[in-house]
């Protein structure tokens, strides 16, 4: 059993829910060095994709301690809404992970309704998740390249990200999967993006680039998820231990690395792109509908988003959402990032930050 993260008042594990918050290792508060001082970095978007704040303790170039400063909290009301209306808000929590959010939410609803999900719908959802994984893994690598001022390779990666976006738009009607998933139906056709993965591999062979990432932000922790876990040698993946998909039918290979640093996280993401493309070649996808009988109940949905486990706990009464909780992968990855930074220097910050694929938009969400 692996611990995944807090889902409302519960702890979500690979085997289900347990009461209370997840048990975690107590943070070690080391004495700061002579002349240390605290300063606030942010809320700032300078050099970062989203505005985010940190409090950093340092006595010079090395970071001794770092904490996240929450300030962008969002209350998104979905309680008392019909499932269809709630879904519209859920899929827009984080556009980059819209497929992951909508599919996980619908899985929870289907569990509550005790609905039988056809194989064709399951396969279509798998295709969406793999397209989303390819796009976001390419984007994370691009962000790291941009942090290193490798601008030409960075623009080449953006071109490939755009190719995936256009493939998604042609397949599902919207480049962020908005409207692709509904209760009882899925709207996507099938298309595989044409990418130049060899070009990405050549970029990652640059010695200067490698030196900026190796040994940067090392974290090896049992309670980790996604590429951060797999970069540390843990073969954690919701696609392996979830009974809501059929990845085993396609001989899913889960790449791992051993060093737990920013470079290992990038290498894992690159190998995942290749594996996702292979799976997409084997899938057969078309629009499909199926009946669902509305009933009172509660269910959990969990998917492997591009950054790790993403889960919803939903309770439905009289066809409306009575309560809902979200476990966003960025909440787990933020904790891992903060634990990985002490001992690194300031110039390491952007490379390490981008390698985790954290989205502030989903980090401080309160579902009301």
Separation of CA 20 from chain center:
24
Looking at the predicted structure, is the pLDDT value of residue 46 above 60? Answer: no
pLDDT band at 32 (very low <50, low <70, confident <90, very high): confident
Kindly tell me the burial class for residue 162, based on how many C-beta atoms sit within 10 Å of its own C-beta (0-12, 13-18, 19 or more). middle
DSSP string of 1-55, one letter each residue: --EEEEETTEEEETTEEEESSPP-PPPP-PPPPTT-EEEEEEEE-TTSSS-EEEE
Neighbours of 22 (CB within 10 A): 16
Q: What is the DSSP letter of 136?
A: H
Spatial neighbors of 312 by CB under 8 A, at least 6 apart, are: 90, 101, 104, 105, 107, 108, 300, 301, 302, 324, 325, 326, 327
pLDDT for position 28:
66
Read off the pTM. 0.95
Mean pLDDT of the chain: 92
Dump pLDDT digits (tens) for 78-137: 999 999 999 999 999 999 999 999 999 999 999 999 999 999 999 999 999 999 999 999
Distance (Å, whole) CA 292 – CA 321: 16
pLDDT, residue 29, reads 67
Say if strands 74-76 and 63-69 run parallel, antiparallel, or are unpaired.
Answer: unpaired
pLDDT tens-digit readout, 14-31: 888 999 899 877 666 667
Q: What is the pLDDT of residue 45?
A: 53
pLDDT in tens, 244-280: 899 988 999 999 999 999 999 999 999 999 999 999 9
- Per-residue model confidence (pLDDT) at position 27: 66
Q: For position 36, what pLDDT does the model report?
A: 86
CA-CA distance, 149 to 151, in Å (whole number)?
Answer: 5
Give the C-alpha separation, 339 to 307, whole Å.
Answer: 17
Give tens-digit pLDDT for 145-170. Answer: 998 889 999 999 999 999 999 999 99
Quick one: pLDDT at residue 48?
Answer: 66
User: Which three-class secondary structure state does DSSP give residue 198?
Assistant: helix
Q: How confident is the model at residue 353 (pLDDT cuts 50, 70, 90)?
A: very high
In degrees and rounded to multiples of 5, residue 45 shows phi and psi of -110, 0
With CA atoms as reference, report the closest residue to 300 among 1, 10, 2.
10
Model pLDDT for residues 270-306, shown as the tens digit of each residue: 999 999 999 999 999 999 999 999 999 999 999 999 9
Q: What is the pLDDT of residue 77?
A: 94
The tokens for 72 are: 């962008």
**Parallel, antiparallel, or unpaired for β 185-186 and 181-182?**
antiparallel
* CA dist., res. 183 & res. 188, Å (int): 14
CB contact at 8 A, 301 and 107: yes
Q: What is the pLDDT of residue 41?
A: 83
């Amino acid at each position: 059993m692996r611990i995944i993260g807090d889902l409302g008042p519960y702890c979500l594990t690979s085997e289900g829910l347990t009461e209370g918050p997840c048990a975690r290792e107590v943070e070690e508060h080391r004495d700061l060095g002579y002349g240390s001082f605290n300063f606030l970095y942010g809320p700032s978007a300078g050099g970062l994709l989203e505005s985010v704040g940190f409090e950093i303790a340092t006595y010079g170039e090395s970071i001794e301690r770092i904490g996240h400063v929450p300030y962008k909290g969002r209350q998104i009301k979905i309680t008392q809404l019909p499932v269809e209306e709630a879904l519209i808000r859920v899929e827009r929590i984080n556009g980059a992970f819209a497929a992951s959010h909508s599919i996980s939410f619908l899985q929870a609803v289907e569990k509550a309704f005790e609905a039988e999900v056809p194989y064709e719908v399951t396969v279509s959802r798998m295709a969406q998740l793999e397209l989303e994984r390819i796009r976001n893994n390419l984007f994370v690598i691009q962000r790291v390249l941009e942090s290193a001022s490798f601008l030409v390779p960075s623009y080449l990666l953006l071109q490939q990200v755009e190719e995936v976006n256009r493939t998604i738009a042609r397949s599902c009607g919207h480049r962020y999967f908005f409207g692709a998933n509904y209760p009882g139906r899925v709207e996507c056709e099938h298309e595989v993006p044409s990418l130049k993965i060899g070009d990405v591999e050549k970029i990652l062979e640059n010695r200067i680039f490698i030196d900026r990432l190796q040994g940067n932000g090392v974290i090896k922790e049992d309670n980790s998820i996604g590429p951060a876990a797999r970069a540390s040698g843990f073969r954690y993946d919701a696609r392996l231990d979830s009974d809501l998909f059929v990845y085993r039918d396609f001989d899913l290979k889960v790449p791992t690395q051993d060093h737990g640093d920013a470079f290992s996280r990038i290498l894992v993401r690159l190998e995942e792109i290749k594996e996702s493309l292979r799976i997409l070649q084997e899938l057969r996808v078309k629009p499909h509908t199926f009946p669902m009988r509305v009933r009172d109940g509660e269910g959990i949905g969990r998917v492997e988003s591009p950054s790790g486990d993403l889960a919803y706990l939903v309770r439905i009464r009289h066809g409306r959402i009575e309560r809902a909780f979200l476990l966003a992968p960025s909440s787990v990855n933020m904790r891992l990032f903060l634990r990985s930074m002490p001992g690194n220097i300031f110039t390491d910050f952007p490379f390490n930050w981008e390698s985790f694929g954290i989205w502030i938009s989903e980090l401080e969400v309160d579902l009301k």
